[in-house]
Amino acid sequence: MSAVLLVDDSEINLAVYRGALHGFDDVEREATTSPLDALRRMRTRHYDLVVVDHHMPQMTGLDFIREAREIDGSTLMIMITADGDVDVRRRALELGATDFLTKPIDRAEFIARVRNLLSLSVSRREIADRAERLHEEVQDATRLLREREIETIVRLTRAAEFRDSVTGLHVIRVGEMCAALARTIGLPEQECEELLLAAPMHDIGKVATPDHILLKPGRLTADEFEIMKEHAATGYAILDGSTSPMLKTAAVIALNHHERWDGTGYPNHLPGPEIPLVARLCAAIDVFDALTSVRPYKKAWNTDAAIAELDANAGTHFDPDVIAVFHDAATEIDDIRRRFSADPGAGTVHRAM
């Protein structure tokens, strides 16, 4: 169904137009002698075609077209002018008129023009609908891909948990806390979202750490510790080379989460500012969460004591700026700790080192 609005101050002209449209099926006709009333109607619904007279006492056709274009950019408009109004026609075109008819109206020409413009309007609408459908399909497909990417990552992270039974809620908390800290710093929302899933993979390289080291309840020997340290480079090797921004971030975190601000960390002994920011965030959060969790060899520290420990190591282990922001995010981080706190903590030793 198409809709046509006829605007002419003369009732007689309106009757003529309406009569000419008599043979049109599937067309809704509205008519008004007031251009202001016509503009009001255009604000409440879309018309495929507006036929407007130029010479009207309330408002000229040109002024009408200017305002009508602001209301509805896609309506087609025919302006009716007196013969010889060349300037008016040029102005009307500039303002957005689609076509013209000259008074006195030739009925056959009027019918032909209206028919042409209505079919143009219908095909325009079809093209717009198709574009809209395509856009929605692309969005759906993108959402699906993203969901699958997230699922793959979550499953990869879960695979690592089977090796290190303490990691379950720990890795979820690390993701949530890193995202909260990143938000407080003011990183773009997309990067915060990436951290939510990337940070939990920080220890994924431990899938390659031998059981007798990973699960050893006591202290590691120097040699064993060297092998343990390989989990950073192994994690990077597992995650590196992806085009997924999330996996790229995860690779950077896996490699660098044991670097220290004073350059004594591993594997590359990077001096503070050269450690990627996401890894500096994860380093502080990883230690904070280990401190505030129960471990077979220690009780859970309270939040204040854990933050005091971060403060004591700001500038040596941790980026002092990150620790400063940690204070601003402390309430939120503590909330996350409580929300995901069913961690039994028992079982194997989680080494935050």
Q: Which positions are annotated as active-site residues? A: 206
φ, ψ of residue 31 in degrees (nearest 5): -140, 145
89: which residues sit within 8 A by CB, 6+ positions away? 79, 81, 97, 100
Nearer to Fe ion, 97 or 239 (CB): 239
Report the first-to-last Cα separation within the chain, whole angstroms: 71
In the complex, the smallest distance separating the C-beta of residue 203 from Fe ion, rounded to whole angstroms, is: 4
Nearer to Fe ion, 203 or 319 (CB): 203
Using CB under 5 A, list all residues that contact Fe ion: 203, 286
Nearer to Fe ion, 203 or 334 (CB): 203
Using alpha carbons, list the distances in angstroms from residue 182 to 285, 315, 325, 333: 11, 19, 9, 11
Structure tokens at 280: 């500096």
Angle CA(78)–CA(83)–CA(85) in degrees, nearest 5?
Answer: 75
Is-contact 65 77, C-beta < 8 A? yes
Using alpha carbons, list the distances in angstroms from residue 82 to 87, 95, 102, 304: 11, 18, 6, 85
Look at phi and psi of residue 186 and say left if phi exceeds 0, alpha if psi is from -120 to 50, else beta. Answer: left
In the complex, the smallest distance separating the C-beta of residue 168 from Fe ion, rounded to whole angstroms, is: 11
Q: Where are the beta strands (DSSP E) in 182-329?
A: none
Nearer to Fe ion, 48 or 286 (CB): 286
Nearer to Fe ion, 120 or 220 (CB): 220
169: which residues sit within 8 A by CB, 6+ positions away? 340, 341, 342, 343
How far is it, in rounded angstroms, from Cα 198 to Cα 146? Answer: 14
Nearer to Fe ion, 286 or 334 (CB): 286
Of 49, 54, 7, 46, residue with least CA distance to 24: 49
Using alpha carbons, list the distances in angstroms from residue 106 to 4, 33, 77, 230, 345: 18, 21, 18, 88, 89
